[in-house]
Amino acid sequence: MSKNPDGKQIKVGILGATGTVGQRFITLLAEHPWFTIHALGASSRSAGKPYVQAVNWKQTMPIPSIVREMIVQECRPQHFVDCAIIFSGLDADAASEIESAFRSSDLAVFSNAKNYRRDPSVPLIVPLVNDSHLSIIPQQQALHDPPLKKGFIVTNANCSTTGYVIPLRALEKAFGPIESCLVTTMQAISGAGYPGVPSLDIIDNIVPYIGGEEEKMEWETLKILGGITDGDDGRKTFDMHARHPLRVSASCNRVPVIDGHTMCVSVRFQRRPPPSPQQVREALVAYTPEAQSIGCPSVPVHAIFVHEEPDRPQPRLDRYYQDGAGVSVGRVRQCPVLDIKFVVLANNVSIGAATSSIINAELAVLKGVVKVE
């Protein structure tokens, strides 16, 4: 197990700690080798109560003993001043104001919410793909009024976007730019939060619409897979894959699966002739993101696990492999319309949510972006 560079335990806080993403943060952080849970934040309804009384616990493991009797605080920066890192599992309707207040208080916020993903100085990071985008944080701090020394916001992506950009990144690294991509999702009900989709809507049914999801997948992909350039005004900007334009068409569906988003993906490469299915399989297996090579403790052994069986991956069989920290790919084959098509499975509550934020924070510590005293 890799060590925190300073050898110290790093105090962290969790906002939205009673929600489903907050609960997942707690299960992942309870025995983390670097991070120790120091403060929990939730709504005023929960504030002042021991966590065990405030939460409607929905995880398969018991509430970790470290947080059972911890008193829940309101999501105000003064209750979290001793924390080097803040993990936000807040709902979007509350995240904007609260996360901004924490950043303004010079706290480092790693957010699962969508609110700041479009901000031109906020990196949108899938930790197995584009950790180099952390380089824009000094600009974010300098543009704040007053400038910040330690505070910033990092966002992770939509849970479906996260799952399929990992193999896309592996393919672009091996074979050059992708010109176009078609992706059809079959998304688990846990992605809708709790209580989520009514049972009469989802049992024995597929709902072919998730509000805002298709648009998010289409533009987030460009920000994540694109680079950072220096503008005429000296500011860094996300180029949105503009040097090699990429067209993405997403169709998003809610299906009666508890955890695990499945995606059918077809891609066309700029390269002619395109790679063969076997070359694609080999590139996916070989893909090694920087988060693995520099020693982040929460990264999976396989960023991408490639199945050879004709009927895998499947949510029930594969969603908890590597504790859901990597993605599974199967059915790699030629596409008669584009070039290559395949199936991706990602655990939406792990790599699609809390796990991504945690690895983002680990990367920030290793790269010196988070200042640990």
3-14: pLDDT as tens digits: 566 677 999 999
Residues in a beta bridge with 155:
111, 124
Active site residues: 159, 261
Q: Summarize pLDDT for 129-187 with one digit per residue, the tens.
A: 999 999 999 999 999 999 999 999 999 999 999 999 999 999 999 999 999 999 999 99
233 pLDDT band (50/70/90 cuts)?
confident
Q: What are the tokens at 107? A: 């706290």
Which pLDDT score, from 0 to 100, does residue 1 have?
A: 39
For residues 4 and 365, the answer to whether their CB atoms sit within 8 Å is: yes
Which pLDDT score, from 0 to 100, does residue 264 have?
A: 98
d(CA 81, CA 243): 42
d(CA 258, CA 327): 17
Q: What are the tokens at 52? A: 């065990």
Which pLDDT score, from 0 to 100, does residue 323 have?
A: 94
Which pLDDT score, from 0 to 100, does residue 8 have?
A: 77
d(CA 99, CA 95): 6
For residues 189 and 20, the answer to whether their CB atoms sit within 8 Å is: no
d(CA 286, CA 361): 25
Q: pTM score, two decimals? A: 0.96
User: What is the layout of strands, in order, in the sheet containing 261-269?
Assistant: 247-254, 178-187, 261-269, 340-346, 327-334, 304-306
Q: Summarize pLDDT for 33-65 with one digit per residue, the tens.
A: 999 999 999 999 999 999 999 999 999 999 999
Nearest alpha-carbon partner for 351 in 315, 329, 319, 313: 319
Q: Summarize pLDDT for 320-341 with one digit per residue, the tens.
A: 999 999 999 999 999 999 999 9
The secondary structure of the chain, three-state, reads CCCCCCCCCEEEEEECCCCHHHHHHHHHHCCCCCEEEEEEEECCCCCCCEHHHHCCCCCCCCCCHHHHCCEEEECCHHHCCCCCEEEECCCHHHHHHHHHHHHHCCCEEEECCCCCCCCCCCCECCCCCCHHHHHHHHHHHHHCCCCCCCCEEEECCCHHHHHHHHHHHHHHHHHCCEEEEEEEEEECHHHHCCCCCCHHHHCCCCECCCCCHHHHHHHHHHHHHCCEEECCCCCEEECCCCCCCCEEEEEEEECCCCCCEEEEEEEEECCCCCCCHHHHHHHHHHCCCHHHHCCCCCCCCCCEEECCCCCCCCHHHHCCHHHHCCEEEEEEEECCCCCEEEEEEECCCHHHHHHHHHHHHHHHHHCCCCCCC
Which pLDDT score, from 0 to 100, does residue 136 have?
A: 97
Residue 358 burial (CB < 10 Å; 0-12/13-18/19+)? Answer: buried
Residue 78 burial (CB < 10 Å; 0-12/13-18/19+)? Answer: exposed
Amino acid at the residue 76: R
Which pLDDT score, from 0 to 100, does residue 2 have?
A: 46
234 pLDDT band (50/70/90 cuts)?
confident
Q: Is the pLDDT of residue 203 over 80?
A: yes
116 pLDDT band (50/70/90 cuts)?
very high
Distances (CA, A) of 84 to 34, 80, 142: 12, 9, 19
Average pLDDT over residues 286-301: 96
For residues 287 and 303, the answer to whether their CB atoms sit within 8 Å is: yes
Nearest alpha-carbon partner for 298 in 325, 263, 261, 331: 325
pLDDT cut 90: percent of the chain above it: 94
Q: Which domains are delineated in the chain?
A: 10-158+354-367 (3.40.50.720), 159-346 (3.30.360.10)
Q: Summarize pLDDT for 236-274 with one digit per residue, the tens.
A: 999 999 999 999 999 999 999 999 999 999 999 999 999
Which pLDDT score, from 0 to 100, does residue 152 have?
A: 98
